[in-house]
Structure 1
Amino acid sequence: MKAHHTLLLLALVAPLALLARTPGTDDNAIPAGPSADQATTAKLVHGLLSDSRYAYRPRALDDALSQDIFKRYLEALDGGKLFFTAKDVARFAPYRTTLDEALKSGQLDPAYAMFALYKQRVDERSTYARKLLKQDIFDFSGNDRWYYDREDAPWAASSAELDKLWQQSVRNDWLRLKLAGKQPEEIRKTLDKRYANLAQAVAELDGTDAFQSFLNAYTGSIDPHTDYFDPRSAERFNQSMSLSLEGIGAQLQKQDDVVVIREVLPGGPAIKSGQLEAGDRIVGVGQGASGTMDDVVGWRIDDVVEKIKGPKGTKVRLDVIPPEAGMDSKPRRVVLVRDKIHLTEQAAKAKTITIPARGELPAKRIGVVELPGFYQDFEGRRSNNDDYASATRDVARLLAQFRAQKVDGVVMDLRNNGGGSLAEAVELTGLFIDKGPVVQVRESGGRVSVENDRAPGVAWDGPLAVLVNRGSASASEIFAGAIQDYGRGLIIGETTFGKGTVQNLVDLDRWPANEKPRFGQVKLTIAQFFLPGGSSTQNKGVVPDIRFPVSVDASEFGESTYDNALPWTRIAAVPHTRYGNFTPLLARLDALHDSRIAANKEFQWWSQDVAEFRAERARKYVSLSEVERRAERDKDEAKRKQRQAERKALGLKLDPLAVDSSDDGLQAGERDVVADAAREKAAEDRPDPLLRESAAILADATALLSDSKQLSAQVLPETGKATHWAE
C-alpha cells in the first residue's frame, strides 16, 4: 500500500474542547453509540494498526492494549483529575478489558458512555465554581497552596474532595485578578463568565468529538505519533502543510458567544475590500450574492469557519458589528469573493545580524533563516503548479538574497520547528551539500532504504550554523543531524526533541472510493529514520556542538517522556562526504562564547529567567498567600523596570513588552482581541539573545579559520574544499 504523504512531524495534541466537530448539529447530546460511518472507521483503523504491512510497530488488539486505551482515554477526558471521582473511574472498570472487542466490532458504546458522563461532570463542576463566587472564601491571609499539577495524584475519593480542589483553584483565579488590580465585582463577573463558558464549550461537544478522542486514545496506545483525523481535522492538517486555504483571509477567534476577527491577512479578500478590520464581530453568514443568512451567534468557531470558507471565486456574505458598537446594533452587510489565501506568516523568513568587530576579530554580517516548519503543498506539487508552497524553494530564494548581499555566514533557525515533509527535509539538506545520502529509512520488516540528495551543486557553500532547541523535532532533526554528520555546519543550542520515526497519511476513504470524505485519515508510523552515520535521533535527539542552558528538562518534554516511545538504536553508516570536523575548534568557540555571555546582559537575563521558570515548574504549586504573591509580583515588576532601564543605559534594544508584561489574570478569549493580537505581534520583535549569540559563534568560527591556516587544515580537510568557510 502506498500512502499519500511521508511526514516527519511532531504531533501536538489539541485540547479536547477544540477538536473538530460536525457542523449544523443543534442537539449536542452524546449518542449511545457510533454512527454507521464511525463504526466502519473504527474497523478500518484497527485493520491498519494491527497489520505489519502498514504499521511499523503493530500491536494486537487484546486485553492488554484495551487497558492502555482505557488509561489514555481517561487522560484525554480528565488529565487534571478535576472532574471524575474514584467512584466514577470504578464505574468504568468493566470497560478496561472490553474496549478491544468494542473497536473490532465497531460498537463503541463504552466510549460514548464515558464521554457523556464527562460532559455531565464538567457541567456540575462549572455550577459549583459559580456558586463559590457568592461565598466568603476569598481570604488570602493564610499559607494555603494550590497544587495544580495532578498528573500523578490519585482520583478524588468523593465529590466533597473535588469540592476542596475546586475551592483552591477558584481562589487562585480570584487572587490572580485581584493582584492585577481588579475589584471584587469585576472579578466575580469575569470568573462567572469563565466558568459558564467552560460548561458551554464542553456542552457543545458531540458524538464526533467522542469518537475522535477515543480513536486517538487507541492510536496513541500504538505509538506517540500515530493519530486519527476526522475529515475536518484532516482538511485543517493539509492546509497547515500547504500554507494555503480558500476563504476570505481572516484569522478568527471565539469571544463569549461571538466569533471575532483577530487579524485580516495580507493579500486576502478581507483586507483588499477595506470593509473588515480586527475586532469586527461576525453575527451572520450567507452563501452567494443573495439568499438566507444564518445567525451564527452562539455557534462553535469551527462551524462558523466552515460556513465562511469555500471554493475560490464564490461569494460569501457576512453580517458584522464593529467593536465599538453594542451587540444590539444593526449589523453591516459585507459581500466578499473567496480566493486562495497564502499563509505567509508561517513561511520561511530572513533577517541579517551584524556582529561588530571584537579585538582582532573583524565585523561580520550573518544571514538568518527562520523556518517554522518543513511545509509542502503536496497537491500543488503533484499538479505541477508553479507556485506550490515549499520550504526548500522559499529557503533557496532567501539564500540567493544572502549571496547577493555577500553575507559572511548563515544561521538556520529551527527552534520549535516540529517537522513536516520528509521530502522537504531531504531537499533542504541538499541546498548545503553536493549530492549524497541524507537519511536512512528502516521499515517494519527491516528493509533499509536511503533518501539521497540527487541535485548537483549547492545553494549556499559558505559558513553555516543550525540553531535548535527541545522543540526542534523530526524533520528538523534529520536536517540538523545530517549537517552534523557531514561536518557541514555547527549545531548550536539545546538537545532536540528526539523523534526518530516516519509517518504517512493514510486516506481511509481510498478503499471505499468515496466521492466525499467520510472516514478521515490516519497519520501512521511506518518507519524509523537514521542519520547517514547510522545513529538514530530517537529518544536521544541531536546533541549540539555548542550548548546553551537547558530551558526544558528532558523529563518534562520530548520523546523521552512517552511511555511507549521506541528505544534508541543505530544501524550501519552509509558512505558520505565529510566536509569538516569542528572538534579542534569547539574549545576555542566555547571559550569565546563563555567570555561574551559573561558580559551579555540579555543572555544573562534569559539564563536567569530559565532557571526561575524551571524552579517554579519543579515546585508544582502556587501560594494562595496574598502577601507572598504580591511580593513575587512586585519583585518581577521591579526586575522588568530595572532591565529596561539597563537596556536604555547600555544602548540595547528595548523590550516592547517590558512596559506591561505582568499577569493580567485573564485567559485566552477574555482579553481585548485587537490589543491581544497587537501584543502578539510586538512579541516577535523582542530581543533574542540566543539568535544573536548563535550568529556571534558562527562569526567567531569564520574569523578563527580565516586567521589560522593550521586550524583551517584541521577543521576543513581536503574533502571540504567544496565549501568556503575560511575565505
Structure 2
Amino acid sequence: MKTKLLWIALALFNSTLAAVELAPLPLQPQTALLSAQVLNRYHYKHVPLDEATSAKVFDNYLKGLDSERFFFLQADINRFEAERPRLVDAVLKENLSTPFAIYNLYQQRVTERIVYARSLLSQGFDFDTLDSYQYLRKHAAWPKSEEEINELWRRRVKNDWLRLKLTGKDDKDISNTLNKRYDNTLNSLAKVKSDDVFQRFMSAYAMTIDPHTDYFGTRASEDFDISMRLSLVGIGAVLQDKDDFTTIRELVAGGPAALSGRLKVGDRIVGVGQGNSPITEVQGQRLDDTVALIRGAEDTVVRLDILPAEATPDGKHKLITLIRKKITLDKQAAKKSILDVTDGGATRHIGVITLPGFYLDFAARQRGDKNFKSASRDVSQLLKEFKKNKVDSVLIDLRNNGGGSLDEAIELTGLFIDKGPVVQQRDSKGKISVSSDLNSGMAWQGPLGVLINRGSASASEIFAAAIQDYGRGIVIGETSFGKGTVQSVVDLDSLFKSPQPKFGELKMTIAQFFRINGGTTQLRGVIPDITLPSMIDEEEFGESSYDNALPWSQIKAADYTKAGDLAPVVPLLIRKHDQRVATDQEFKYLQEDINEFNTRRRENRISLNETERRHEREVQEARIKLRDKFRGDKSEPAGTGFQDDGLQANERNLEADIALENTRKNAKDVLLNEAVHILSDEVALLKSKSRLAASALPEIQ
C-alpha cells in the first residue's frame, strides 16, 4: 500500500512539473550566438567549437547540475549521449532545446529523489547495524539503477536523521525538520526560471574555454558591479530567505532602515511598493526578485509591508516608508587592527590590514569624483593612521582575497615601493606590456609582511609576487591559488548597441600576467617565504584542480631594481618560527585538526552506527573541553559554535544562527597570530643586526 501511495505522489509531482517545464526565452539563443562570436574573436585562448569542445561543455553542464551524482541515473546520461558531440549546436545554431531538456529532466529527478527521501521518514532506521555513508561522490560512477540510487538516498537520509538524533532531538522533531528541508528544496526548485537555466548552460560553455571565463545575465552583472564598487542604492538591510519570508538579518549602520528606528533584525518583508503605487506581495517570492524591488534610484520612495519579528504569520502588519540612499558596503572594505607582541621585555606593535578584495568604483573615478572608493586609497589612509600609532611593522592579510581590479593591485604595490614595474602582461598575439607604479615615494617604508592562503588569487597574487620579487616584504602562509590570467568584462549590450539591458555581460580572459622576474603565478601560485599549515587539498581547490587551465610559462624579466634583500633574514625567522610553534599549544591544536580533517577526507566515509557516532562525538567534546580548560574559557558550553548541530543554515533560529556566525568569526586566529609573531621577530632582528637591516631595508638606510 505504501509503495502504491508513493507512486501516486510521484505521478502528482511529475504532472505538476510537466506543467511548468522551462523553455528558452526568445532572446537567449541570439545571446548565446553573440557570446560565442565575441569569445571566438577576442579570447586569449582560441578554442574551436568542435566535437571535443562540445563533449567538455556536456560534462561541465552535468557537473554543474549534479556534481555529487545523487540525482541522474546512468540511463539518463545515456539518453542524451548522442548530444554530447553536438551540444555546441545549441550555441551555433541558436537551438537551446537540449540544454533545457537536460535541465527539465534534472528537475524531475530531484523531485523523485525528494519524494523517496520523504517516504523513508515514516519507516524509521536501524542504527545498530554496521552501515556507512560516502558523502563525497564527484568521482563516483553514475548510479546504474533505481535500486542503487534509492540505496544512496537511504544512507543519505539515515545520516541526516542520525546527525539530528545525536543533538538530542526526538523522532517527531527530526521528522518535522527533514520534512521542512525537503519542502524548501522543492520550493526552491519551483522558483527556478528560464534565465537561471540559461545562465547555468552559458557558464558551462564559457568555462570550458578556461576556468575564469563566464557569462553574466543582467542581474548577475549588477551584482558583480556592486561587488567592485562596494556600494549600492537601497535601504541598508542584509536580507535572507527564511521559511518563505524575506527576513532582515542585519541593519547597516547609517542606512535608511537603521535610521528609521522602525525596523529590527527578524522582521519579515511581505510586500514592497514603489512611491504611491500599490504594494506588491513578495511572500514566497525569490529573494533576488524581492531585492530587485527594494533597490532603485537614489532619493526615491519605497514602501515596505512588514510582519514584525515577534508576530505570528497572521499577526498585525505595519507599513514603513523609506527613502533609498547610497549604501557603502564597509564590511567588505579594508580594515585595520593593531596587535601587540611582547617578547623579552619588549613590546612591538604590528599593524594588520585585512583586505577582502581589490575593489574600485570605476564609474565614480571616470566621472571625476574625488572621493571614489578604491582598495588602495583606503589602505593608504590606514597606513597614515599606523604611522601616527607608531607601529613597528605592517601585515597585509590577503587570505581568501580572490582578486578584483588589476589597476588596484598596481596602485597597492606602489604604496610599498618607490617606483617601477609591478606586473607584465602577454596578450593573445604574444605582445608583452609592462604595468608600472609611476609615483615616487612610499606610503610605508618599514618592515612589511603579506599573509596569503589558497584562496588568495589573481590581483592578490600580483601584489604578493611583486612584494616578494622586490624583496620588499616577507610572504607568509600557503601557496596561493595560481590564477595567472587577466579578465575583462564585455558589455554585450554596448557592443551590439542595444538601448535596453538584455544580452548581459561576458567575463573573458584576454591576457596572461607574469611576475616582474619573468615567471608566472599560473598553476604554481605564489610560494610563501615561510609556510604555514593548511587544510586545503591543492588537487581539489586552486588552478591546478582545473583540467583546462593554462600551463605555466616564463618570459624575460622586466627591468627593475630590488628594494631589499630578505634572503639572509628568512632562514633566521624560520628557525624562530619552528622553535615557537613546537611549544605553542594552539598551533598543536590546529595541526591536530588538520590531521583529523585530512584523515576523514581520505576515508570519505562516515559510520551510520549510533554507538560509533556517539563515541566520536564524545571524543570530540572531550577534546574541546580540554582546550577550553587550557584557555580558561568558561563563558559557554564546550564546543559551542563548532559541534555539528545537524541543521542547515536556513533551519536555525535566526538569533542562534547569527550567534553561531559570530562565534566562528571571533574564534582564535592561530595563523594570523603566528604571522604577527614572525614580523615581530623580524623587527627585533633588524634592530639588533645593522647589516641585516641595511640589506633588508636599504631605502630606509
| TM-score calculated relative to the size of structure 1 | 0.92
Give a deviation string over 1:276-310, Cα, whole Å, max 9, x none. 1111111111111x331111111111111111111
CA shift, 1:128, in A, is 0.9
CA shift, 1:28, in A, is 8.8
Change (3 A) 1:529 1:656: farther
**Residue 231 (1) aligns with residue 218 (2):** yes
Residue of structure 2 equivalent to 1:588? 572
Give, in whole Å, the separation in 1 of the partners of 2:257 and 2:499: 31
Residue of structure 1 equivalent to 2:285? 299
Give a deviation string over 1:618-667, Cα, whole Å, max 9, x none. 22121111111111111111111211111128xxx989984453111100
State the one-letter code of the partner of 2:479. T
Residue among 664, 671, 679 paired with 1:683: 664
Structure 1, unmatched stretches of 5+, are 1-25
Residue of structure 2 equivalent to 1:84? 72
Residue of structure 2 equivalent to 1:329? 315
State the one-letter code of the partner of 1:530. F
Change (3 A) 1:658 1:396: farther
State the one-letter code of the partner of 1:341. I
Higher mean C-alpha displacement, 397-406 vs 658-667: 658-667
Residue of structure 1 equivalent to 2:501? 517
- Give the match's secondary structure for 2:61: helix
Whether contact under 8 Å (2:338, 2:349) holds in the other structure is yes
Residue among 709, 716, 719 paired with 2:690: 709
Residue of structure 2 equivalent to 1:183? 170
- Give the match's secondary structure for 1:438: strand
Higher mean C-alpha displacement, 103-112 vs 223-232: 103-112
State the one-letter code of the partner of 1:452. S
Give, in whole Å, the separation in 1 of the partners of 2:149 and 2:183: 18
**Residue 365 (1) aligns with residue 342 (2):** no
Percent identity between the two aligned chains: 49
Residue of structure 1 equivalent to 2:698? 721
- Give the match's secondary structure for 1:36: coil
Change (3 A) 1:574 1:197: same
Residue of structure 1 equivalent to 2:629? 645
Whether contact under 8 Å (1:281, 1:323) holds in the other structure is yes
**Residue 343 (1) aligns with residue 345 (2):** no
**Residue 127 (1) aligns with residue 108 (2):** no
Whether contact under 8 Å (1:657, 1:686) holds in the other structure is no
Give, in whole Å, the separation in 2 of the partners of 1:658 and 1:382: 50
Whether contact under 8 Å (1:655, 1:687) holds in the other structure is no
Give, in whole Å, the separation in 2 of the partners of 1:233 and 1:667: 25
Give a deviation string over 1:338-361, Cα, whole Å, max 9, x none. 1110000000000001110237xx
Give, in whole Å, the separation in 2 of the partners of 1:683 and 1:346: 18
Residue of structure 2 equivalent to 1:46? 36
Give, in whole Å, the separation in 1 of the partners of 2:196 and 2:253: 33
Change (3 A) 1:150 1:225: same
- Give the match's secondary structure for 2:445: coil
Residue of structure 2 equivalent to 1:4? none
Structure 2, unmatched stretches of 5+, are 1-16
Give, in whole Å, the separation in 2 of the partners of 1:538 and 1:363: 40
Residue among 104, 115, 130 paired with 1:116: 104
**Residue 630 (1) aligns with residue 614 (2):** yes
**Residue 209 (1) aligns with residue 186 (2):** no
CA shift, 1:82, in A, is 0.9
CA shift, 1:721, in A, is 2.4
- Give the match's secondary structure for 1:640: helix
**Residue 67 (1) aligns with residue 55 (2):** yes
Change (3 A) 1:364 1:657: farther
Give, in whole Å, the separation in 2 of the partners of 1:511 and 1:475: 26
Residue of structure 1 equivalent to 2:488? 504
Whether contact under 8 Å (1:263, 1:677) holds in the other structure is no
Give, in whole Å, the separation in 1 of the partners of 2:423 and 2:700: 21
Aligned length: 685
Change (3 A) 1:598 1:177: same
Give, in whole Å, the separation in 1 of the partners of 2:212 and 2:635: 40
Give, in whole Å, the separation in 2 of the partners of 1:634 and 1:378: 53
State the one-letter code of the partner of 2:278. T
Give a deviation string over 1:170-206, Cα, whole Å, max 9, x none. 0000000001111100000000110121122112212
CA shift, 1:262, in A, is 0.7
Q: Higher relative contact order by CA 8 Å / sep ≥ 6: 1 or 2?
A: 1
Superposed CA RMSD in Å reads: 1.7
Residue of structure 1 equivalent to 2:6? none
Whether contact under 8 Å (1:316, 1:338) holds in the other structure is yes
Give, in whole Å, the separation in 2 of the partners of 1:545 and 1:139: 53
| TM-score calculated relative to the size of structure 2 | 0.95
Give a deviation string over 1:580-614, Cα, whole Å, max 9, x none. 22221222111111111122222221121122112
Whether contact under 8 Å (2:564, 2:698) holds in the other structure is no
Give, in whole Å, the separation in 1 of the partners of 2:570 and 2:277: 69
Change (3 A) 1:657 1:238: farther
Give, in whole Å, the separation in 2 of the partners of 1:208 and 1:573: 46
State the one-letter code of the partner of 2:432. V
Residue among 555, 559, 562 paired with 1:575: 559
Give, in whole Å, the separation in 2 of the partners of 1:260 and 1:109: 37
- Give the match's secondary structure for 1:598: helix
Residue among 241, 245, 248 paired with 1:261: 248
Whether contact under 8 Å (2:403, 2:457) holds in the other structure is yes
- Give the match's secondary structure for 2:288: helix
Change (3 A) 1:657 1:334: farther
State the one-letter code of the partner of 1:428. L
- Give the match's secondary structure for 2:277: coil
Residue among 229, 237, 251 paired with 1:242: 229
Residue of structure 1 equivalent to 2:404? 420
- Give the match's secondary structure for 2:273: strand
